[in-house]
Structure 1
Amino acid sequence: MPQPTLFVEVHVLQSLPPSNANRDDSGTPKQALYGGARRARVSSQAWKRATRTEFAKAVEPADRATRTKRIASLLAERLTRPAAEGGAGLETAQADRLTAALLEPLGITKSSKKEEQSAYLLFFGKRQLDEIVKLLNGRAAELAALPDGELKAQVAKLPVVATLTKGHPAEVALFGRMVADLPSLNVDAAVQVAHALSTHAVRTEFDYYTAVDDENTEDHGAGMIGTIEFNSSTLYRYAVLGVHQLRDNLTSAEAARETTVRFVDAFTRSMPTGHMNSFAHRTLPHLVLLTLRTDQPVNLVSAYEEPVAGAAGLAAESAVRLADELRSVAETWGAEPARTLAAYSIEADKVTEVFGPSVTFPELLDSLGELVGKWLAEGRIAKADA
């Protein structure tokens, strides 16, 4: 019998003023051709990074995840800490040698080089490194003194790889991990994030700027000149979280419920920081729509296949288009969400008719937590009260 599934979809409409939040290799704001029109685009990678950063603000440093090529350096540093601080009290050379042996099953080695790095970025929890140190059971100095062959044989008995396959922090459980050379370390992501697209056509503009040399009193010329490309846009942002996958990754229903709510909060509030100091483009959304589905996710970007061309602002028309698309998908495909929650500041009858009355964002998160908790406990989502 198929296992029940629950998808929490986050649809966001958000306007950015002149900005260059996510640029390509030439410095141009990222764009995409959609519906025959050039659109502003913010890549899914950029917004996932921003979401992870926002999510981590509410996590204790020791419980956070990190994505790095420097796992060997981090583990060796722990081995040099005093035992009272959770380390092994080894000298640097001993720690480097033991680290190399411990990480050999991962295809990662650390020599005496100052900045030895692995060939790939590894996403893991900081507490998972602490668990690897605990595997040594106070024998770190003894093991580090063994000849190479004996050290390798002894370390091979320790479940280092298995330690990295359990106890995942929420960030790894949400965004997953891919290690092509060691599939046993892979973690299926519970979250998918779409590239954000403007609901309308955009045109790139150029900011010509000058900088004055404060100490130059000899002439009135600029000390530096340059240009920054930018655009402004109303973006449709979309992400979907599989609660069932998140529960499996975390192995705790309560942790899955809490992480779901925190993810929606972080994704909604997050903002890529490209050229942030130049444009101060951090805004909050016009509309946050949550749709809970038990069959499959549905990205509603088709609402904007024909670009919005508002003469007096774009947000209200974009919200009406989104409402029309949600209703159209439900009527055409029979794909009506199990529940719909929305927080918005747009006054439009169609929006209220389709999404229901607006609630405050904190109320939206509270309602989401209750619904997800009920599904995790009972495997079903009750219909909204008439």
Structure 2
Amino acid sequence: MSSRRFLDIHVLQTVPPSNMNRDDANSPKQAIYGGARRSRVSSQAWKRATRTAFATRMSKEDLGTRTKQMSSLLGRRLADAHGVTAEDATRIANALLAPLEIKASKKNAEQMSYLLFFGYPQLDAIVTEVGDIADLVTLEDAALKDAVERVDVKKILGTGHPVDVALFGRMVADIPNLNVDAACQVAHAISTHPVEIEFDYYTAVDDENTREQPGAGMIGTIEFNSATLYRYATIGLDQLETNLGGADAVPSAVELFVDCFARSIPGGHANSFAHRTLPSLVAVVAREDQPVNLVSAFEKPVRSSEGVLDQSMTRLAAEMTIATTNWGQAPVKVLSCYNGDAARLAEAFDASMPFPRLLSEVKSFAADWLSSDALR
């Protein structure tokens, strides 16, 4: 069985005037690429949007959370399960989590010093492992510490990862054995063309003003730009299989990610710009050699006064062909959904199919790929 299986996801998406991901000065994020200023949406922003979209497809209790409040969450579960006071439950929770050796926050002693990414099911597993806590409530701190040592919290947090932790990984600098290698990498999205920042000057009217009280109640500006974005992510199926503890859950996880990554969009200033759009191209490319980001298709920026999407699609298809012919990196499978010229795009991305069918095909292919090498 091959040990190098990757699914690359390529997306072209046009967004209208927006400021979905801003910097510390409230300007839309940017990058210089190919000597031209581009619109940029950070990988963190789109991963967050994707994780948020997971909750529309799955129960919150089956997903992960990234928080400093692990002790409080565990304490509430202990209290609910055993009917003890919140104070006693929190004390037991703190004793259980003490082996993690994560320092308390300087601003709030009830919180950890940094965010920890874990699954709600893992908290439930800790509660189950503790069992009846009636006797623990009466113990002094030293005795309580000894009594809960039988619960291997590190082991519980190191297995049974929910799909979002399995995909995006976990970094705990102070406790390396709690780290989870991410099965998914997401690139910063950049525009295929140069952009300029524009300014929306707005006024807000005070509804209670009378004709004798003219003028705006508030004025301000919001910076924005518009762009056709190239977005890219890749999933290592073998790492995902490891993180999920087996191959059975991988196909559904892949389908979930492709769906939510394609449909999600960061929500910065969404009420001001209503910038949610759908992609014009989604291509899922299976590889056994290495992930291939095709952003070099746009190193020379697309320039046009009649729209840039069509040229962007053509450039992306050409780059895909170059990766296949010049470098000999032929994909195992290509599944695509696009709105462009089928004759120009089909050679690189195969025939277009409706997105719901693409998701079904991706799920079936992932299952077959993990169970057999004879797919070519």
TM-score with structure 2 setting the length:
0.96
Q: In the TM superposition, what is the alpha-carbon distance from 1:184 to its structure 2 partner? A: 1.3
Write the mapping of 1:59-208 to structure 2, written as runs, cut at 5 A: 59-81=58-80, 87-108=81-102, 116-138=110-132, 140-208=133-201
Per the alignment, in what secondary structure is the counterpart of residue 273 of structure 1?
coil
Residue in 1 aligned with 2:202? 209
Asked if structure 2 preserves the Cα contact closer than 8 Å seen for 1:99 and 1:110, the reply is no
| Amino acid of the structure 1 residue aligned with 2:68 | K
Asked if structure 1 preserves the Cα contact closer than 8 Å seen for 2:53 and 2:264, the reply is yes
1:172-197, Cα deviation, whole Å (9 max, x unpaired):
10111111111111111100000000
Per the alignment, in what secondary structure is the counterpart of residue 233 of structure 1?
strand
Asked if structure 2 preserves the Cα contact closer than 8 Å seen for 1:7 and 1:240, the reply is yes
Write the mapping of 1:15-26 to structure 2, written as runs, cut at 5 A: 15-26=14-25
Q: In the TM superposition, what is the alpha-carbon distance from 1:124 to its structure 2 partner? A: 0.5
Per the alignment, in what secondary structure is the counterpart of residue 158 of structure 2?
coil
Write the mapping of 1:238-317 to structure 2, written as runs, cut at 5 A: 238-317=232-311
Per the alignment, in what secondary structure is the counterpart of residue 253 of structure 1?
coil
Residue in 2 aligned with 1:31? 30
Per the alignment, in what secondary structure is the counterpart of residue 375 of structure 1?
helix
Mapped to 2, the partners of 1:305 and 1:215 lie a distance apart of 53
Asked if structure 2 preserves the Cα contact closer than 8 Å seen for 1:99 and 1:109, the reply is no
Q: Percent identical across equivalent pairs? A: 54
Asked if structure 2 preserves the Cα contact closer than 8 Å seen for 1:100 and 1:108, the reply is no
Q: In the TM superposition, what is the alpha-carbon distance from 1:297 to its structure 2 partner? A: 0.2
Q: In the TM superposition, what is the alpha-carbon distance from 1:371 to its structure 2 partner? A: 1.2
Mapped to 1, the partners of 2:103 and 2:91 lie a distance apart of 9
Residue in 2 aligned with 1:6? 5
Per the alignment, in what secondary structure is the counterpart of residue 156 of structure 1?
helix
Task: Tell me: CA distance 1:352–1:3, structure 2 relative to 1, closer, same or farther (3 Å).
Answer: closer
Q: In the TM superposition, what is the alpha-carbon distance from 1:109 to its structure 2 partner? A: 6.9
Mapped to 1, the partners of 2:93 and 2:102 lie a distance apart of 9
| Residue 49 (1) aligns with residue 48 (2) | yes
Mapped to 1, the partners of 2:136 and 2:103 lie a distance apart of 17
1:23-53, Cα deviation, whole Å (9 max, x unpaired):
0000000000000000000000000000001
Per the alignment, in what secondary structure is the counterpart of residue 234 of structure 1?
strand
Q: In the TM superposition, what is the alpha-carbon distance from 1:21 to its structure 2 partner? A: 0.5
Asked if structure 1 preserves the Cα contact closer than 8 Å seen for 2:187 and 2:233, the reply is yes
Mapped to 1, the partners of 2:327 and 2:303 lie a distance apart of 28
| Residue 351 (1) aligns with residue 345 (2) | yes
1:341-380, Cα deviation, whole Å (9 max, x unpaired):
1101112532123222211011111111121111111145
Mapped to 2, the partners of 1:375 and 1:41 lie a distance apart of 34
Per the alignment, in what secondary structure is the counterpart of residue 326 of structure 2?
helix
Gaps of 5+ in 2: none
Q: How many residues align?
A: 374
Q: In the TM superposition, what is the alpha-carbon distance from 1:110 to its structure 2 partner? A: 7.5
| Amino acid of the structure 2 residue aligned with 1:152 | K
Mapped to 2, the partners of 1:345 and 1:148 lie a distance apart of 64
Mapped to 1, the partners of 2:252 and 2:246 lie a distance apart of 10
Asked if structure 2 preserves the Cα contact closer than 8 Å seen for 1:294 and 1:338, the reply is yes
TM-score with structure 1 setting the length:
0.94
Q: In the TM superposition, what is the alpha-carbon distance from 1:114 to its structure 2 partner? A: 7.9
1:53-101, Cα deviation, whole Å (9 max, x unpaired):
11221111221210000001111111211xxxxx121112211211111
Gaps of 5+ in 1: 82-86
Asked if structure 2 preserves the Cα contact closer than 8 Å seen for 1:316 and 1:348, the reply is no
Mapped to 1, the partners of 2:171 and 2:122 lie a distance apart of 17
Residue in 1 aligned with 2:230? 236
Per the alignment, in what secondary structure is the counterpart of residue 76 of structure 1?
helix
| Amino acid of the structure 2 residue aligned with 1:271 | I
1:119-154, Cα deviation, whole Å (9 max, x unpaired):
11000111111111111221x121121122211111
Mapped to 1, the partners of 2:306 and 2:342 lie a distance apart of 14
1:219 equivalent among 208, 213, 217: 213
Residue in 2 aligned with 1:327? 321
Asked if structure 2 preserves the Cα contact closer than 8 Å seen for 1:100 and 1:109, the reply is no
| Amino acid of the structure 2 residue aligned with 1:68 | T
